[in-house]
Amino acid sequence: MEKHSLTSENAETRLALFDFAFQHAPIGIALVDTDGFIIRGNETFARLVGMPISEVAGKPFKNFTHPDDIKADLALFREALEGKRDSYTIEKRYIRPAGDIVHVRIHVGAMRGTGGRVAKFITQIEDITFAKKTERILAEKAAQLELALETVRGGFWQMDLPEKKFETSDRLARFINGPKAATLDLAHYTEKINAQDGAAADLTSLISGATDQNVSEYRLSTVNGERWMRCDRRLLRDADGRPLKIVGMAVDFTDEHKQIESLELHSYTDALTGLLNRRGLAKRFKSMSSSDGYTLLAIDLDGFKEVNDIYGHPTGDAVLVETARRLPATVRDSDLVCRIGGDEFVIVVAGDRVDGVAIAERVVTAMRSPVVIQGLSLGVRASVGGVWTAVKGDIGELISKADQLLYRVKASGKDGVQFESDLVPSGSLKVENQVP
């Protein structure tokens, strides 16, 4: 008698525990009979189907299942009834009375009697509406990204720092090596980068965690030849802030790079003559190097105003173009030739004072030959003022000093050179009629 009472008490305890767990479970739970009708559901389940818990019992699960999902659900349900499976999991949609849809993942388990026949089903229902929404958003973004990448020449790469593994995306591999190319590791990707651009492509600051993001530009050998790539690189860190992964997006911007180079070229060169302009001279002078000092020659054309006045500006422009052809022939490749405006030119010579004087004399001599324009022989010559400095100074100050010497040549008869404080003899430099 005591044993029977103890067994009964244990059964009651287990039933009470089951009821407690059933009612207070954070997910929906429902008992379903073999005809698909709800025997019992908990509060969470009632909220999922949008019904008062008092109205849940006796409803077939087909009533709140989306019409497009019923067929698949019933097929699995029948297989469980027929003993072909003991359980199944499926994702489907509930339609609430108000018409709103809830995405759920349900796990159905068959509860069998002593003969093995299904007595009922216990169903656990998880609300995955938010997860589905997130999944849809991610899928949309992925589709948008894929569409955007279709118009981008290049692709992604990533580097797993703990694993020391680098790999390009399929798209980037195909961009580099053609349609059937396999992904590239770090060694094979690096060998495609122009050796002169190695510093620009370096990842040290990202690997060490010193920076989280940077942009580099380098030349990359591809199936379509060498291309300029702009690569946005970003560092991802773990929860403790340690460098975890570097991701990079390499985009071909060769056409844009050419446009930039063209714009820079035009911003630093004279449109008429193709020589450096004042801005280009200042830029190139900064990077000029010479252990023997520098000579700056200020050059002005004698008789140029008369040519413009008598024959017009087109003829004057032709004279300037011819002058721009002659002046570079008097210097070396390391020297700079510039038109700073009107008929004013500047030459910077990398070398000692003797080199500067020699080139100044060559300029005057070169300009003594008549300039022939459309049958006209024009006697346009050159006056030159020169200064030499051992240490590179301000280019504007050097031009100003050379101009002062140039004006002295103009005042003393033109067609000659004055170098610093000395009048440099230049053969028989004589002032002649500038326009025949």
Q: Are residues 80 and 87 in contact, defined by beta-carbon separation less than 8 angstroms? A: yes
Of residues 257 and 209, which shows the higher confidence score? 209
- pLDDT, one tens digit per residue, over 326-346 is 999 999 999 999 999 999 999
Give the end of a domain, one of 237, 257, 277: 257
Average pLDDT over residues 91-103: 93
What pLDDT is stored for residue 9 in this prediction? 60
Residues 318 and 420 occupy one common structural domain: yes
- pLDDT, one tens digit per residue, over 247-298 is 999 999 898 888 877 777 678 889 899 999 999 999 999 989 999 999 999 9
Residues 349 and 406 occupy one common structural domain: yes
Domain containing residue 230: CATH number: 3.30.450.20
- pLDDT, one tens digit per residue, over 186-204 is 999 999 999 999 898 899 9
The answer to whether position 143 is within a domain reads no
Average pLDDT along the chain: 87
What pLDDT is stored for residue 432 in this prediction? 34
What pLDDT is stored for residue 8 in this prediction? 59
pLDDT of 434 strictly over 60 = no
Give the end of a domain, one of 72, 104, 132: 132
Give the end of a domain, one of 209, 227, 257: 257
pLDDT grade for 435, boundaries at 50, 70 and 90: very low
Residues 211 and 94 occupy one common structural domain: no
Residues 273 and 249 occupy one common structural domain: no
C-beta atoms surrounding 52 within 10 Å: 9
Average pLDDT over residues 225-251: 93
Residues 218 and 360 occupy one common structural domain: no
pLDDT grade for 143, boundaries at 50, 70 and 90: low
Residues 281 and 411 occupy one common structural domain: yes
pLDDT of 81 strictly over 50 = yes
What pLDDT is stored for residue 436 in this prediction? 29
- pLDDT, one tens digit per residue, over 26-39 is 889 999 999 999 99
What pLDDT is stored for residue 127 in this prediction? 93
pLDDT of 87 strictly over 90 = yes
Residues 278 and 252 occupy one common structural domain: no
pLDDT of 53 strictly over 60 = yes
Residues 273 and 234 occupy one common structural domain: no
Of residues 130 and 146, which shows the higher confidence score? 130
pLDDT grade for 147, boundaries at 50, 70 and 90: low
Domain containing residue 312: CATH number: 3.30.70.270
pLDDT of 428 strictly over 70 = no
pLDDT of 82 strictly over 50 = yes
Range of the domain at 404: 269-424
Residues 101 and 14 occupy one common structural domain: yes
pLDDT grade for 148, boundaries at 50, 70 and 90: low
Residues 402 and 374 occupy one common structural domain: yes
What pLDDT is stored for residue 49 in this prediction? 92
Residues 338 and 359 occupy one common structural domain: yes
State pTM to two decimals.
Answer: 0.46
Rounded (10°) CA dihedral 69, 70, 75, 76: 70
Residue 393 is which amino acid? Answer: G
Lowest-pLDDT range of 11-15, 235-239, 379-383, 425-429: 425-429
| Among 193, 196, 197, 201, CA closest to 232 | 201
Q: Based on the structure, what is the number of domains in the chain?
A: 3
- pLDDT, one tens digit per residue, over 349-406 is 999 999 999 999 999 999 999 999 988 899 999 999 999 999 888 999 999 999 999 9
